[in-house]
Amino acid sequence: MIRLYTSPSCSSCRKVKKFFDEEGIPYVEKNIFNSTLNPNELKEMITKSENGTDDIISKKSKIIKEGNVDIDSMTISQLINFIRKNPSILKRPIMIEDHKMQVGYNKEEIRTFIPRAKRIAQIACDHLGMCGESWNDEDDD
């Protein structure tokens, strides 16, 4: 199941939820401001980040800028505690499923969350004109 980390005022979060709803993709939404983030969830985000904290933390956030916070000098434990106390520093939305994570709304990249069989069927319909046909149907000639 996809975990979707959001905030109420986030337009990209609304786009992601709309996409998942339209595609019939189930997800569990977690508002980062209404619940304290679990340390294991944050470790997973950090671990799955290709570019470390740059992928998930907005270094332009008010808390980091005004407080002269140096994220890069923190230990993992310090970073996790800092995020838990200041969830607004997280970029949004964050989507996690199994071995993949995406941060932000990207129209093309979000398609990886569509189940493989459905993606193949959509390609067949859109590009090959095979809408509604079964891949296992044999010709009735």
**Residues recognised as catalytic:** 10
Cβ neighbours for 4, distance < 8 A, ≥ 6 positions apart: 13, 16, 17, 20, 27, 28, 29, 30, 93, 94, 95
Cα 74-91-5 angle, rounded to 5 deg: 105
* DSSP 8-state symbol, 74: S
